[in-house]
Amino acid sequence: MQIFVDVFLIFILYFLFGYTHTFLSSKKNKYFIKNKFGNLIAFYRLIFNIISILFLVLIFNYAPHPDITIYDLQNPYDFLILIPQLLGLVGFFWSFNYLCASEIIGIGQIKRWLRNEYDMEDLDEKTTLNIRGPFRYVRHPVYFFSILFLISRPTMDLFYLITFICAVIYFYIGSIYEERKLVEEYGDLYTQYQAMVPRILPLKIFNPYKIKETF
């Protein structure tokens, strides 16, 4: 009976994280912050990221950790599975290379604010549409490579398995909300991209998006 209670609590904690994360990143909330604090919204992205990290740390430290091992790979499989994990890590940084890291972290906004160059209409981030590199094969390569990294483990316990499942669910739901904003901002440009490139799984790796022909 205790195991079901523990699993339920873990799911609830991750649900609360996902709900809070989605609410705080919503445009409605950002407009509220802008109207309330003006151009101080430049600090919002960094604060948002710090809160998210702290929330996850609390979950990892204080959520139940059932003493159940799903699998424990033996030699040489425990070594071989590190290969896709490494590919996931490399792919993650490859994808990040095509994004503006300073904007995602929240540093770029603060720098513009310090130079009195911050535009409140950017809300908490100055967005750009990037469909080069890994974005030619999948619309959310950061999510794909994160999933590859997370699943490629030599040992899997119940807590980590639930964490992985919740991460995949969150990535998918999060991608829906992200793309609504992108369609609103870029219109037909993004809907055309959606029609030609898979969401998270790179199912068309041998037929990459022909950027030069359409953009």
pLDDT tens digits along 89-131: 999 999 988 888 888 888 988 988 999 888 887 787 777 788 8
In this prediction, residue 212 has a pLDDT band, given cuts at 50, 70 and 90, of: very low
Q: How many CA atoms lie within 13 A of 34 on its CB side?
A: 16
Query: Which residues lie closer than 8 Å to 128 by C-beta, 6 or more apart?
Result: 100
Residue 214 has pLDDT above 50, yes or no: no
Across the range 185-198, mean pLDDT stands at 90
Is the Cβ–Cβ distance between 150 and 111 less than 8 Å? no
pLDDT at 206: 60
Mean pLDDT of 55-60: 94
Residue 181's pLDDT band (cuts 50, 70, 90): confident
How far is CA 20 from each of CA 176, 179, 187, rounded to the nearest angstrom? 16, 19, 27
**pLDDT at site 6:** 93
Computed over every residue of the chain, the mean pLDDT equals 89
pLDDT digits (tens, 9 = 90+) for 21-45: 989 988 889 889 989 988 889 999 9
- Quick: pLDDT tens for 4-18: 999 999 999 999 999
Write the CA distances from 184 to 110, 152, 179, 180, integer angstroms: 25, 36, 8, 6
DSSP state, 25? T
Tens digit of pLDDT for each residue in 147-173? 999 999 999 999 999 999 999 999 999
pTM over 0.85: yes
